[in-house]
């Protein structure tokens, strides 16, 4: 009898295993999308592409006329959003230090000057914002524009008109101090 019970138990276990094997196995979870590769930005030492633009405050910006000064071009996604506001206010709050170091700062995004003017007035930004609604400035600086928004990338242009430093993922807080630290290294 015990042999019979053992045989029955074996048959039951085996049939249960077969039943489980007949069940469909769940599909593997889809792989997480791979992040896009880092953009090929202008390298340090490259000449900064020249351009002109009309700033939100009505002043004409001409990069060629700023040779001999440090220039910061910071590309940001959109006026009056959380990260962009933090970044702009960080620069605003350190404006005295940046001016004392001889740095000219310009924010660049794909919004028009109406949006830039409202943003600058709301947060009392002391530096010009440049419109890039067609993405032409971003293209010159190899800044990706995704869904109509520029990626957050900052260029420091040296007094010689060449790229001195690039922040491919510019911080929303602490950018001004990083800019000043780069200038102090020369």
pLDDT at 184: 86
Q: Are 167 and 178 in contact (CB under 8 A)?
A: yes
**What's the burial of 100, exposed, middle or buried (CB within 10 Å: 0-12/13-18/19+)?**
exposed
Catalytic residue among 42, 72, 84, 130: 84
Environment class of 93 (CB within 10 Å of its CB; exposed 0-12, middle 13-18, buried 19+): exposed
Whole-number pLDDT of residue 185: 76
pTM for the model stands at 0.79
Does the annotation mark 89 as catalytic? Answer: no
Tokens representing 4 are: 């019979």
Sign of CA dihedral 59, 139, 51, 76: positive
Question: Which of 168, 82, 182 minimizes the C-alpha distance to 90?
Answer: 82
Which phi and psi (to 5°) does residue 96 adopt?
-60, -45
| pLDDT for the residue 32 | 59
Domains in the chain, CATH or no CATH each: 68-184 (3.40.30.10)
**Tens of each residue's pLDDT in the chain, 186 residues:** 566 665 555 555 555 554 454 455 555 556 655 555 556 899 999 999 999 999 999 999 999 999 999 999 999 999 999 999 999 999 999 999 999 999 999 999 999 999 999 999 999 999 999 999 999 999 999 999 999 999 999 999 999 999 999 999 999 999 999 999 999 876
């Amino acid at each position: 009898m015990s042999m019979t019970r053992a045989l029955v138990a074996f048959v039951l276990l085996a049939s249960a295993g077969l039943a489980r094997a007949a069940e469909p196995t769940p599909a593997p979870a889809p792989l997480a999308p791979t992040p896009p590769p880092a953009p090929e930005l202008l390298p340090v030492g490259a000449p900064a592409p020249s351009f002109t633009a009309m700033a939100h405050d009505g002043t004409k910006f001409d990069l060629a006329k700023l040779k001999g000064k440090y220039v910061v071009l910071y590309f940001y996604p959109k006026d009056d959003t959380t990260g962009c506001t933090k970044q702009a206010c960080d620069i605003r709050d350190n404006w005295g230090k940046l001016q004392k170091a001889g740095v000219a700062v310009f924010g660049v995004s794909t919004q028009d000057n109406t949006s830039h003017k409202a943003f600058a007035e709301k947060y009392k930004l002391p530096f010009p914002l440049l419109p890039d609604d067609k993405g032409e400035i971003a293209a010159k600086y190899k800044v990706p524009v995704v869904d109509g928004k520029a990626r957050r990338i900052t260029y420091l242009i040296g007094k010689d008109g060449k790229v001195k430093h690039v922040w491919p993922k510019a911080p929303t807080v602490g950018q001004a101090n990083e800019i000043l630290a780069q200038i102090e290294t020369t």
